[in-house]
Amino acid sequence: MADSLTFRTRYFDAGTGSVLHSGIYNREFSSMLASVAAAGLTYMAIASRGGSGLPAFAGLLGVALITFPLFRRFVFREQYLRTTFDRPRGKVSIFREGLYCRMVGGFPLADIKSILIETKKTAVENADGVEFVKKISLQHHTAIPGFGEENALYLLTLKLAGGRDLIIFAGKSMEDAISAHAVIKKFIENI
């Protein structure tokens, strides 16, 4: 039997967020904007020193092509939640991994009373607003994926002593929630 179990996921936010911006402002788009800004600054630096034409354009293109994957990989990377159940220390540690890895919480392993799968459904709150935005997006020949649709999230929740709940997974796949639940529950029951 293993002494520790680490559960790592990028699906941990149960908030509804901005439906409009989720389809438009994604990590790739943000990386592109940042790389174009870096390329524009490079172009201005080369042009201010008297360079123009081919050297300035080559610098602009080179910086844009090099910085886009760097921004995507290192700056606008996926955030992960890592939950480590450590049996020998009797502790649960929770880290949020992004640009930096930082500990966001920890508690004794014995504080876990149960682990549950819950469902959270988000409904459309403003149907008229959804229809209005859909009409505008059609006029611009743009589709916003999933806009105005009801969503169901499957939450993997740790019920802790003192009545506190902690969500460690919030995904759209029931199968993922069930498999993670089975592994974590088996580990917790063998304490």
On the 0-12 / 13-18 / 19+ scale of CB atoms within 10 A, 149 is exposed
Residues of the chain predicted below pLDDT 50: 20
pLDDT at position 108, please? 93
pLDDT at position 22, please? 55
Task: Give the closest residue to 71 by CA, choosing from 105, 37, 41, 103.
Answer: 37
Q: Please, are residues 170 and 162 in contact by the beta-carbon 8 Å criterion?
A: no
Helices 27-48 and 54-70 meet at what angle, rounded to 10?
A: 150
Q: What is the pTM of this model?
A: 0.70
Condensed to tens digits (0 to 9), the pLDDT of residues 122-148 reads 777 777 887 887 788 778 877 776 677
The architecture CATH gives domain 4-23+79-189: Roll (2.30)
Beta bridge partners of 92: 85, 107
pLDDT at position 136, please? 82
